[in-house]
Amino acid sequence: MIESRVPLEASIAARNKKGPGDPHLRSISEVKRYHIHATDGEIGDVTDIIVDEHWIIRFLIVDTGSWFPGKKVLLSPEWIKEVSWADSSVEVDVSVEAVKNSPKYNPNQPLAENYETDLFLHYDK
């Protein structure tokens, strides 16, 4: 039996070749590095994304890092005004002050049933 082999370089090039896919799709691992900009300043970086059982994005988990040390907050994708793929940034329709006073998110605890309601009320959404 004669095997047909493709050189490794050609195989890798074919696998990495960009297809006619949606130019707006990004992997979660790429978006995790995006910077978040509020209406009046920078507030942190996306560290993860919460999706529901239907693969709908429910929240961006934002680490406020040096802006508000030790705090992680959730932001709804409904509050996104603009995404800049080139700048790896997301602009959201909330203020820095609202994020600063936002209910803290603890990834080690399940979301309470009323957390989402409280979050939307906090941001006046």
Q: Is the pLDDT score of 60 beyond 80?
A: yes
Residues near 2 by beta carbon (within 8 Å), at least 6 away in sequence: none
- Cα 82 to Cα 9, 11, 38, 108: the distances in Å are 38, 37, 11, 30
Among residues of the chain, what percentage have pLDDT more than 70? Answer: 76
SS3 label, residue 92: strand
Q: Band of the pLDDT at 31, cuts 50, 70, 90?
A: confident
What CA–CA distance (Å, rounded) separates 25 from 85?
10
Q: pTM for the complete prediction? A: 0.75
* φ, ψ dihedrals at 43, nearest 5°: -125, -10
pLDDT at 94: 96
Token reading at 23 = 């130019």
The b/e string for 79-89 (b: 16+ C-beta within 10 A; e otherwise) is beeeeeeeeeb
Could you tell me which residues are beta bridge partners of residue 84? 89
In 3-state terms, what secondary structure has residue 71?
Answer: coil
For residue 85, name the pLDDT band (cuts at 50, 70, 90). Answer: confident
User: 8 pLDDT exceeds 50?
Assistant: no
